[in-house]
C-alpha cells in the first residue's frame, strides 16, 4: 500500500492536500479529551457517518430492488429472506433513516442553543435547514418503496397532508402522486426522487456545509 501511495503521490502531489485537510485544529470546547460537554459537538460527525451508511446500504439494496408495483414487494422480500446478509442491510438502512433525521435534528439543536448560527455563520445555518428537509424527504420517499400496506397508506396520508398546504400544496401532491391516487407513477417518482434528485441535493449542500465549516472554523459557545 505504501508503494501504491508513493506512486500516486509522485504524480498527483496528494500529501500537501491531505495534510491541509487533516491538520485542522479542534478547539478545546469541542475536544472530548479536554471538555466533558464536548460530546454535543459530535452530533454533526455522527450525522455524516449515518448518511454515509445510508448511501452504502442503499446502493446495495438497489442491486436487487425493482421499482414497480408488480415486483417491488417481492424484491424487498427476496432481499430480506434470500440474499446473504440482505435482511441485516435492509434493517440497517431502515433504522438508519430514522437515525439520520434524529442526529441532524440534534445537531441543529446544538447549533441553536450554542448560538452558532450567528454572524458569520448564517449561511451555514441555512444550509443545515435545507439538509434537515432533504434528510426528511429521503425518509418520506423511501418509506413507500417496500410497497406494502403500511407504506401505501402512510404515503397516502402524507400526500393528503401536503395537499392541505395553501397555494402550492395541491400541485405538489399531484406531482408526487402522478395523478389523483397513489399508484405506479407514485412509486416510480418516489424511487427516482429517493435515489437521484435528493441525494444530488444532499451532496451539494453537504459540500457547501463542510466548506463553510472549514473556512469559518468550529464556533465557540456565545
C-beta of residue 195 within 8 angstroms of C-beta of residue 60: no
Q: Which residue has the cell 402512510?
A: 154
CATH superfamily of 30-114+122-216: Cytochrome Bc1 Complex; Chain C (1.20.810.10)
What is the C-alpha separation between 114 and 222, in angstroms, rounded? 6
% helix, strand, coil for the chain, step of 5: 75, 0, 25
- Which residues of the chain, if any, have pLDDT below 70? 222
Is there a contact between 142 and 153 (Cβ–Cβ < 8 Å)?
A: no
* Separation CA 125–CA 152 (nearest Å): 34
For position 23, what pLDDT does the model report?
79
- Please state the pTM of the whole predicted model: 0.90
Torsion 72-78-79-80 (CA) sign: positive
Q: What is the pLDDT, as a whole number, of residue 21?
A: 78
Cis peptide before 120 (omega within 30 of 0): yes
State the pLDDT at residue 20. Answer: 82
Q: What size, in residues, is the chain? A: 222
| Domain residue spans of the chain | 30-114+122-216
Amino acid at each position: 500500500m505504501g508503494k501504491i501511495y508513493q506512486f500516486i503521490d509522485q504524480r498527483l502531489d496528494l500529501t500537501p492536500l491531505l495534510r491541509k485537510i487533516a491538520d485542522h485544529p479542534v478547539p478545546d470546547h469541542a475536544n472530548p479529551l479536554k471538555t466533558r460537554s464536548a460530546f454535543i459537538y459530535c452530533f454533526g460527525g455522527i450525522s455524516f457517518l449515518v448518511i454515509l451508511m445510508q448511501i452504502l446500504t442503499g446502493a446495495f439494496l438497489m442491486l436487487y430492488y425493482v421499482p414497480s408495483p408488480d415486483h417491488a414487494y417481492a424484491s424487498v422480500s427476496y432481499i430480506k429472506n434470500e440474499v446473504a446478509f440482505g435482511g441485516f442491510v435492509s434493517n440497517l438502512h431502515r433504522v438508519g433513516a430514522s437515525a439520520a433525521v434524529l442526529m441532524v435534528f440534534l445537531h441543529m439543536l446544538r447549533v441553536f442553543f450554542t448560538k452558532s448560527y450567528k454572524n458569520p455563520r448564517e449561511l451555514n445555518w441555512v444550509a443545515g435547514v435545507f439538509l434537515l428537509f432533504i434528510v426528511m424527504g429521503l425518509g418520506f420517499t423511501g418509506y413507500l418503496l417496500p410497497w406494502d400496506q403500511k407504506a401505501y397508506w402512510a404515503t397516502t396520508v402524507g400526500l393528503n397532508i401536503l395537499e392541505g398546504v395553501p397555494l402550492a400544496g395541491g400541485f405538489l401532491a399531484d406531482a408526487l402522486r402522478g395523478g389523483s391516487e397513489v399508484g405506479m407513477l407514485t412509486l416510480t417518482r418516489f424511487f427516482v426522487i429517493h435515489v437521484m434528485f435528493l441525494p444530488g441535493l444532499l451532496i451539494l449542500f453537504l459540500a457547501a456545509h463542510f466548506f463553510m465549516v472549514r473556512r469559518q472554523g468550529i464556533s465557540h459557545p456565545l
